[in-house]
Structure 1
Amino acid sequence: MMDKHGQEITVKINGKERPFTTDKPIETNILENEKEAEPRPSASFQQKKRKKRSPIIGALNARIKSAIFSIMMAVIIGTSFGFIVLNVIPKEKEHSGQTLETELPVPAESKDPTGQAAESANEAAASSFTVSVIQAGVFTDREAAAAYARQLQSSAIPVVAVGEKPVALFIAVGSDKQQLQAINERYKQKTHSTYIKFLSFASTDRERKPVIKAGEALYREMAAISAILLGKGDVHKEEWKKLESDYKQFISQTLPNDDNIKRYVSHMKAAYNLLIAYKTNQQEELLQKTQQELLEALKSYIAVFPLRS
């Protein structure tokens, strides 16, 4: 609206009357008001921009972490494998060698590089006496061994204690390990633990009396037959004939004046008579008694000819 009395013109802007002039300051104020009216970018819009960047950064961080984890695992696995190769495997090989040496000991003569010692070693290996036994345990305390032996005998298991410290309990004998497998399965049910063991004796032809040499052939024959029959196997007629022939050869030998050898011969004769009785009566108890006599004979034999070490 215009005032008649003056040259001032006023206009209403935002509900307020302002003087209208052609000066630039008014235009400036209007522009400033318009700028103030323009909406400012909100904080949520800025956060959205940041959120758009975060998946890329997160994926990059995840890849870096995965790479670091893979490197660490590769280092740990490589270190562990190296430790196993350098420490565990050599120990296992060493343990296997010790076990083989214990079961199949080398005679002391073979360590001598001279030709005479090598010849003596070959002679001992060719003529040495070998059998296999079932061992029911080894004890450092002789009284404990005796108590367990009585327990085995009450279960109708033959047993003999061999050695002093330690004391080993033998509960069956055969000419080889295979013959004792079936007996071992039976005895496992009545014993704490069993182990089939190969025995080799350090004796040569020059050391053994004729009665001992003849007794070794007879012993292996009786051990084989009694073990096979006790394991529910069959024995051919030829084996019985050979047994009779070996026994005649054995009793024809002169008996030396040695208490251990005398006991050995006595147990051998008893074992033979029991085995022949079984052939007639077919009573298993006679086989167990045969095995008991053979174990006693083996104990006397060990007293004369020690085991190889």
Structure 2
Amino acid sequence: MDKHRQEITVRINGRESPFTMDKPKQLDKAEIPENRIDENANRVESSGLSPSLPSINKKRNKSNIWNARAKSAVISIVIAIMVGTSFGFIVLNMIPKQKTHSLPVEEAGLSASIETETSTQPEANRVNENESVSSPFTISVIQAGVFSDAKAAADYAKQLKSSSIPVVTVGDQPVALLIGVGQDKETLRKVSQQYGGEVRSTYIKSLSFDNTDSGKRTSVIEAGETLYMHMAAVSTVLLGKSDVKADVWKELENDYKQFAAKPIPNDKNVKRYVSAIKDAYLALVAYKTNQQEELLRKTQQELLEALRSYMTIFPLRS
């Protein structure tokens, strides 16, 4: 077709030259301008299209799942907090009302208990006073044997007296022999050791008497119990080769004065009891001056006589 195309000639500067029209060259796909490539890339990015679109969608799905779980957990926590707070308010509102209603009852019970304690205190004091007044009289003794035959007991008692050992017989079938009296067992052990081979066997025990009968426990009996305990303690201490201080002798003298000032009822057992205590005191005071051991044994003998009279007035406690 080019051969059939007419050529146009022009004269330029006296020369003829063919007149041609240059057609624009078609650009190869490989020769696409960079600015167009950038524009296309921008268009792709703006439209959200990319080669890694499936992986992005997976990540978005996972994030959506985690977001949903987080939202459900947050919602559960919020609901739990709201429920707990509401329950707490309900409990706090109910408890004060219950306490308010129960307060008068508690106050009434407290006042009643206070009144009860107040009313019982005088009674308790009276009981303590009565116990201090009627406390059982208890003394320790040295027992030198128990005999079923009264004659055998009397013969043995006579033998002990010949050895200057104080002794009395108490009871009937059996008959017991008592050879010493003291405030406690420990001091009596020292006294028992001094008798040595003169006594077959000894046994130290305590005697407690039921002296709660106020009709029998007169003022002279009560004062005599105090003086008796004092003299029994002093005489056994001296028999154990120990000393007695001056203030103890003074206290003993005061106890005797109070005892001697008490009236004596017309009762033979009480009279024997009072007489034996007085004789024991006189023998003990004489020992303070003469320092003779026979006077201490005399004191013990009279105390045993007073104890035998006391046992006829008040029975032993079971």
Question: Which TM bucket (shorter chain)?
Answer: 0.5 to 0.7
**Corresponding residue for residue 303 of structure 1:** 312
Which AA in structure 1 matches 2:269? Answer: N
**How far 1:181 sits from its partner (Å)?**
1.3
Measured against aligned partners, the alpha-carbon deviations of 1:46-100 in whole angstroms (never above 9, x if no partner) come to xxxxxxxxxxxxxxxxxxxxxxxxxxxxxxxxxxxxxxxxxxxxxxxxxxxxxxx
Alignment root-mean-square deviation, CA = 2.0
Of 152, 163, 186, the residue aligned with 1:155 is: 163
Q: 1:205 to 1:305 in 2, by over 3 A?
A: closer
**How far 1:123 sits from its partner (Å)?**
2.4
Which AA in structure 1 matches 2:157? Answer: A
**Corresponding residue for residue 194 of structure 2:** 186
**Corresponding residue for residue 200 of structure 1:** 208
4+ residue stretches of structure 1 with deviation over 4 A?
A: none
Check the 8 A contact 2:134/2:211 in 1, yes or no: no
**How far 1:125 sits from its partner (Å)?**
9.6
Measured against aligned partners, the alpha-carbon deviations of 1:102-123 in whole angstroms (never above 9, x if no partner) come to xxxxxxxxxxxxx99xx69x82
**Corresponding residue for residue 145 of structure 2:** 137
Please say if 1:286 is aligned against 2:312.
no
**How far 1:212 sits from its partner (Å)?**
0.3
Q: 1:255 to 1:126 in 2, by over 3 A?
A: closer
Which AA in structure 2 matches 1:240? Answer: W
**Corresponding residue for residue 167 of structure 1:** 175
Separation in 2 of the partners of 1:267 and 1:250?
13
Separation in 2 of the partners of 1:195 and 1:277?
30
Report the TM-score when normalising by structure 2. 0.58
Check the 8 A contact 1:159/1:170 in 2, yes or no: yes
Give secondary structure in 1 for the equivalent of 2:160.
Answer: helix
**Corresponding residue for residue 104 of structure 1:** none
**How far 1:179 sits from its partner (Å)?**
1.4
**How far 1:126 sits from its partner (Å)?**
6.2
Please say if 1:257 is aligned against 2:270.
no
**How far 1:206 sits from its partner (Å)?**
2.2
**Corresponding residue for residue 230 of structure 2:** 221
**How far 1:229 sits from its partner (Å)?**
0.5
Rg larger in structure: 2
Give secondary structure in 2 for the equivalent of 1:127.
Answer: coil
**How far 1:287 sits from its partner (Å)?**
0.5
Which AA in structure 2 matches 1:276? Answer: V
Which AA in structure 2 matches 1:285? Answer: E
Separation in 1 of the partners of 2:310 and 2:316?
10
Q: How does 1:1-309 map to 2 (within 5 A)?
A: 123=131, 127-204=135-212, 206-207=214-215, 208-309=217-318
Check the 8 A contact 1:124/1:203 in 2, yes or no: no
Separation in 1 of the partners of 2:218 and 2:253?
21
**How far 1:190 sits from its partner (Å)?**
1.1
Report the TM-score when normalising by structure 1. 0.59
**How far 1:298 sits from its partner (Å)?**
0.4
Separation in 2 of the partners of 1:204 and 1:235?
33
Specify every segment of 5 or more residues in structure 1 that has no aligned partner in the other structure, as ranges.
1-114
Give secondary structure in 1 for the equivalent of 2:139.
Answer: strand
Give secondary structure in 2 for the equivalent of 1:143.
Answer: helix
